[in-house]
A and B are shown apart, each in its own frame.
Chain A
Amino acid sequence: MSPLARAGRWVRGHLVLGLGVLVLAYMFVPIAVVVLMSFNDPGKSKNVYAFRGFTLHNWEHPCGPAGMCHAVGLSVSIGLLATLVATIIGSMAAFGLVRHEFSGRGLANTIIFLPMASPEIVMGSSLLALFVSTGFGGRLGFWTIFVAHVMFCLSFVIVTVRARLAGLDDNLEQAAMDLYADERQTFWRVTFPLALPGILGAALLSFSLSFDDFIITNLNAGQTTTFPMFVWGAAQRGVPMQVNVIGTVMFVIAIAIVLGGELNNRRRARALVG
């Protein structure tokens, strides 16, 4: 190959990578803005969509705006509870689908796929129609939000855990059985620990989905205000800068968990090899 062709190939190869990095950068611009705005001092200006000056005030008084921290607390408790329930029953379903034989698999797969492929506005309005027609219309709040969140998290949990289980080498389980482990021991000592990273990933995904959901929640919340609903309400007048503090903190925590998990994996892989 001539040097010229080689140079051309190098450029082409790195061109795609460069464009890809540009796309990633585009995905991060708004996040950078959220972080930046958490240090913004809007002063007396009504325009909260411009950076006016640097301040630590928002970080020192994160609960300044009335009702915001209450909304955050509510979102966290709904998120934790919905994640717990969705992760347990979703993981059970994933084990059932991958490890057991039964009829109706096609139907089950369709019902799992559909919630991920339905517009949220349709799911939200259907649930509202159900609640209203069964007499829960006046009791919309924490529990109706919880029910909705478990519902839309379930499919994502099942798909994530199933992918992990499907990628496992079942020779390991065979080996455990050959070594006279019974089914229960095989499951708890081999299968479950191997599936655990997938289950934890699914839990993290559930919590993010639940904490962030607006469209379905807004239809089924009644007078209850979650954090996204607080932001939405405030956006009509101009959001308080503290919402960006919450956004930044959430982002940092989630990234720390993901990167921590990744580092842990690498260390374990290295320990196994070395």
Chain B
Amino acid sequence: MAALTAPARAAEDSAKRVGGSRWTGYWLLAPGALWLGLFFVVPFYSLVSASLFDPNGSVLTGYKVNYHVGNFATAVKDYHPELLRSLWYAGLATLICLVIGYVLAYAIAFKAGRWRNLLLVLVIAPFFTSFLLRTLSWKLILADHGFVVSTLQHLHVLGHDGRLLNTWLAVVAGIVYNFLPFMVLPLYASLEKIDGRLVEAAGDLYASPFTAFFKVTWPLSLPGVVAGTLLTFIPAAGDYINAQLLGSPGERMVGNVIQSLFTSSQDYATAGALSLILMIIIIGMVLVYIRKVGTEDLV
């Protein structure tokens, strides 16, 4: 999280005078490292071996790892529409989140004055009601004879029998809604650190507010933009709740497929391969993206 980096590192450098022997740090870190190692790192190995299972195995008869690389081919051949759709929906939702999240973060950082802390609490407040219940609420808001749809029909934005629920629009809107706080918080953290005098200086040098924004504020907020887009895009690409509740089968995302392969058809081999493909695509995209934007200051 780019936002936390600079002060965190400064404190790491300055505060080493306090504290016991040179092993204390390792002891403090050990339980957490062990837990993440056992239940986050090791499972990736299990996932890789699951993706190489003999596809004829089952939960009852057990699985054999026979390096069946064909699982990957099967996964891509059968499910590439869902994969591409996930990336497309997640990308679009991330872009929308960036635009409206930037407005909100900017307003909180520069315009909110003494309401700043309250507004920040309000940004995280949606986390305190269930994700599923909030998504189900959208089902009601976007319902066929509901207020939103009737208004849009009156305004001829939607056709006479146009609808929102069970369309890709509803799914993308749901994703935008659910992941918006992940965009706003890092954006806010990096906007808040900007020295207002820099923007004033740009104004003094006859930059219009627009030029000042694009030449000063925007570049300085880039670490927040990178962190925010990643923290939105990555979970969005794996999400299936929005697609399931707000979309029709035509909007199935890769998460829906992985979930049902694991739990309903118990096809661990294909599910493992598909999971791994998703992860590899995401890591690849993230690396290219970070190189393009030129920030490696992520953690």
Contacts and interface: CB of A to CB of B under 8 A. Distances in A.
Given A20-B108, A29-B141, A122-B275, A133 B39 contact: no
Contacts of B16: 99-101
B259 A37 contact: no
B140 A50 contact: yes
A123 interface: yes
Contact of B43 (A16, A19, A129): A129
Given A12-B209, A121-B238, A214-B241, A163 B43 contact: no
Contacts of A106: 299
A92 B137 contact: no
A34 B278 contact: no
A97 B12 contact: yes
B258 A116 contact: no
A151 B42 CA distance: 12
B155 interface: no
Nearest to A93: B32
Nearest to A259: B121
Interface string A204-237: 0000100110110011000000011001100100
B25 A101 contact: yes
B143 to A, nearest CB: 5
A109 B299 contact: yes
A58 interface: no
Interface size class of B (residues with CB under 8 A): 35 or more
A244 interface: yes
A211 B19 CA distance: 35
A179 interface: no
Interface residues of A, number: 107
Contact of A90 (B32, B50, B145): B32
Residue with the highest number of chain B CB atoms closer than 10 Å, among A128, A232, A239, A248? A128
B252 interface: no
B28 A227 contact: no
Interface string A156-180: 0011001101111010011001000
A96 B26 contact: yes
Given A121-B278, A125-B262, A167-B7, A100 B123 contact: no
A41 interface: no
A128 B42 CA distance: 12
A3 interface: no
A99 B136 contact: no
A19 B104 CA distance: 7
Contacts of B40: 111, 114-115, 123, 126, 151
Contact of B136 (A14, A170, A235): A235
B29 A108 contact: yes
Interface string B2-15: 00100110111011
A248 B17 CA distance: 47
A93 B14 contact: no
Residue with the highest number of chain A CB atoms closer than 10 Å, among B41, B111, B282? B111
A122 B47 contact: yes
Interface of B: 1, 4, 7-8, 10-12, 14-20, 22, 24-29, 31-33, 35-37, 39-44, 46-47, 49-50, 59, 63, 100-101, 103-104, 106-108, 110-112, 117-119, 121-123, 125-141, 143, 145-146, 177, 180-181, 209, 230-231, 234-235, 237-241, 245, 254-255, 258-259, 262-263, 268, 271-272, 275-276, 278-279, 282, 286, 298-299
Interface of A: 12-14, 16-17, 19-21, 23-24, 26-31, 33-34, 37, 49-50, 89-90, 92-93, 95-102, 105-106, 108-123, 125-130, 132-133, 137, 147-148, 150-151, 154-155, 158-159, 162-163, 165-168, 170, 173-174, 177, 183, 186-187, 191, 208, 211-212, 214-215, 218-219, 227-228, 231-232, 235, 239, 243-244, 246-248, 250-251, 254-255, 258-259, 262
